[in-house]
Amino acid sequence: MKWLLPIVLTTLTACSEEREVSYTCPTDANYSEAFLESDFYQGWRTLKAGEYPRENCKEAIHYFERGVSDNAVFELSTLYADFCSGSLDQSLLDHSSIYLSEKLSTGVDYDEFKWVLDLALCNSPVEQYAWDKCC
């Protein structure tokens, strides 16, 4: 997914220079039921309840760590666990396309791809954190 973030941000920059685009951040209706029931999403809801980006990391990280074993939310769970811990097991990072320079052969789940795009457009601190780490 490392290859995805530069494309998204470049596209956003180009679009914002041409005209101002209004964008509404996503709602639960934008994602599959399985995604909304995942450990990742439960962790994200816990994290989002804080007033600043890392305030609820201690409460949310166990959801992200469990999400790492779920192929459908592996990439996002790895990213958010890394964001919250700062010391995630390196072996997990070695298998995440977020931290690799090439796309994984298994690809990225549709909901994960949509999540990164949607949250990047909404200036999410975690997606900005990923950009800083990878690029």
Which pair of structure tokens corresponds to residue 29?
Answer: 């209706």
Residues contacting 13, CB < 8 A, separation 6+: none
Q: Mean of the pLDDT values across residues 21-36?
A: 79
Q: Using a cut of 0.85, tell me whether the model's pTM lies above it.
A: no
Buried b (16+ CB within 10 A) or exposed e, 110-121: ebbbbbbbbbbb
Quick: pLDDT tens for 37-60.
999 999 999 999 988 889 999 999
* Cβ-Cβ contacts under 8 Å for 39 (sequence gap 6 or more): 63, 64, 66, 67, 70, 73, 77
pLDDT of 1: 47
